[in-house]
Amino acid sequence: MRYLSTRGRCEPLSFTEAVATGLAPDGGLYVPESLPDISGSLAQWAKLSYRELCLEFFKLFATDLGEQVLESCIEDAYSRFDHPEIAPLVPLEPGLHVLELFHGPTLAFKDFALQLLGNLYEAQIQRSGNPITVLGATSGDTGAAAIHGLLGKPGVDIFILYPRGGVSPLQERQMTCTGADNVHSIAVRGTFDDAQAALKDVFGDLEFRRRVNLSAVNSINMARVLAQCVYYIYAWLRLPEQEREQVTFIVPTGNFGNVLAGWWTRKMGLPVHGFRIATNQNDILYRLFTTGRYEMEPVRPSSAPSMDIQVASNFERFLYFHEKGDPGRVRDILQQFRETGSYHFGGFDRDVFSASRADDAMIRERIREVHRRYGYLLDPHTACGFEDLPREGTRIVLGTAHPAKFPDVIEGATGVHPTAPALEALKKRTPRSHNLDPDPKAIETFILSHITESCP
Ligand SMILES: *Cc1c(COP(=O)(O)O)cnc(C)c1O
């Protein structure tokens, strides 16, 4: 299997090359050159554990990685999940389920991809013998998940910038209480945008980049999307036979990453009826799928902060397949979007895609209602999925975070204070972080003096 850029202006790569490269040199995102048909394998896959299924699935894509390496990367990635099913499907009533994706080390669904990606990086370092320095900026969950995917790994130092006072206290503890020498969390005096701008400048300093073998941690690595495909297949296979007709996945999303993975599995032959794109008040994707208009607006902070985004970076991968793999069309549409801030699509397949949006008041109401009706606690992101639920068929809502990550919103809505042992343990640990200005030179100096791996 080869991987192509959505913008079509660079050479195809193998799986391991595409994973190591991240963003394509032409600014595009890597996609598999074709999506294999899995429909004939489903009956056989029904018997597999989560890890076994993940291995069978990745064998179709990671064709230049030895099966043994792949197997050990996968085994290890899901060994730190605290539920034997890894992604348990929890029924609330017949035809309505929550797929709990928050049993990984940071209690959010990003662990599915970043635990595995960390191991793929490690395998790469072992093969090449070159240590790497990972640098990222985060407004919360991605940074924590990236840190936990890489902590303690030989050959890697990870530096994460976050806005001081701009992430939740629990998220900050997840980044600063790891106890690992190769993790360096940096509270930047400024906003997330300031941190992001400084990071871009550091990446723009090519000599520095080479000197420390700098690598990005971001939401666009192709392996992340593939890792997220697995739980859609797993969930479908866990449904009772009579509930497998007309299945709709309801996906709380901001960046389109999660729903893209589900849509790919449908294109591969998983018999899914449709996808509901559930946004918070930052509703660019809701507006897109209800009106056809892709239009940027300023971000308004919400109680589901991991979906507070302006431009859905993974949307470009959807666009590529929507435009039937024509990179010229992708470039034209993106250019018009960049120049005018909007693009109007003729429309999307309404049978496959529907959308909903929830503002903060609706999020609280859904948390309260689901707790009253089922005794089940939703986190604010998952709660977006319960707004305007489809009435027909089987509904599977993706539970993207553990409620204990957002105790104040939950307590305000239900009176219950949710807890999780992993988070309670964090409260006893000593945080370790550094304060820096969002100044690229200061960040480079800091990296050079804190790197634990020797770089040539
Ligand atoms: C990142 C995140 C999301 C949004 O994921 P997308 O990649 O935008 O689909 C939703 N919920 C939680 C808890 C997250 O951390």
pLDDT digits (tens, 9 = 90+) for 287-342: 999 999 999 888 888 999 888 877 777 899 999 999 999 999 999 999 999 899 89
With the CA atoms of 12, 15, 17 and 18 taken in that order, what torsion angle do they form, in degrees rounded to the nearest 10?
Answer: 70
What is the predicted pLDDT for the residue at 455?
43
**C-alpha closest to that of 87 among 306, 420, 400, 419:** 400
In angstroms, the Cα distances linking 253 to 28, 87, 109, 372 are: 21, 18, 11, 25
CA distance 61 to 32: 8
Q: What is the pLDDT of residues 154-163, one digit of tens each?
A: 999 999 999 9
The DSSP annotation for 336-399 comes to HHHHHSEEE-S---TTTEEEEE--HHHHHHHHHHHHHHHS-PPPHHHHHHTTT---SSEEEEEE
Alpha carbon of 242 to ligand 1 centroid (Å): 30
Residue 343 lies in a domain: yes
Residue 284 lies in a domain: yes
| Mean pLDDT calculated for residue range 427-450 | 95
What is the predicted pLDDT for the residue at 453?
63
Is the minimum distance from the CB of 106 to ligand 1 under 6 angstroms?
no
Candidates 142, 218, 225, 255: which one to mutate for ligand 1, based on the most atoms within 8 Å of Cβ? 255
Burial 423-446 (b: 16+ CB within 10 A, else e): beebeeeeeebeebebbbeebbeb
142 and 167 in contact (C-beta within 8 Å)?
no
Cβ-in-10-Å burial (0-12, 13-18, 19+) of 99 comes to buried
CA distance 171 to 142: 10
Tell me the two tokens of residue 64: 């230049």
pTM: 0.95
**CB atoms inside a 10 Å sphere around CB 358:** 29
Residue minimizing CA distance to atom 1 of ligand 1: 306
Alpha carbon of 207 to ligand 1 centroid (Å): 34
Residue 91 phi/psi, 5-degree rounding, is -80, 135
- What is the share, in percent, of the chain residues with pLDDT greater than 90? 80
Q: Is 200 a catalytic residue?
A: no
Is the minimum distance from the CB of 317 to ligand 1 under 6 angstroms?
no
CATH number of the structural domain spanning residue 105: 3.40.50.1100
What is the predicted pLDDT for the residue at 29?
93
Q: What is the pLDDT of residues 257-284, one digit of tens each?
A: 899 999 999 999 999 999 999 999 999 9
The overall average pLDDT reported for the chain is 93
Spell out the alpha helix ranges (H) of 273-326.
284-291, 315-322
Counting from 1 in the atom list of ligand 1, the atom nearest the Cα of 253 is 9
Residue 383 lies in a domain: yes
Burial 2-19 (b: 16+ CB within 10 A, else e): bbbbbbbeeeebebbebb
Alpha carbon of 307 to ligand 1 centroid (Å): 6
What is the predicted pLDDT for the residue at 21?
83
For residue 54, how many C-alpha atoms fall within 13 Å in the half-sphere facing its CB? 25
Residue 18 lies in a domain: no
Residue 91's pLDDT band (boundaries 50, 70, 90)? very high
Q: In total, how many domains does the chain have?
A: 1
**C-alpha closest to that of 43 among 208, 300, 237:** 237
CA distance 147 to 426: 15
User: 216 has which bridge partners?
Assistant: 135
Residue 95 lies in a domain: yes
∠113-220-455 over CA atoms, to 5°?
85
Residue 314 lies in a domain: yes
**CB atoms inside a 10 Å sphere around CB 456:** 6
Tokens 């899901």 appear where? 78
Q: Which helix (H) or strand (E) holds 447?
A: helix 440-450
Domain that holds residue 312: 86-109+223-423
Query: With the C-alpha atoms ordered 320, 325, 327, 329, is the resulting torsion angle positive or negative?
Result: negative
Find the catalytic residue in 47, 59, 110, 405.
Answer: 110
Tokens 């599977």 appear where? 396
Residue 412 lies in a domain: yes
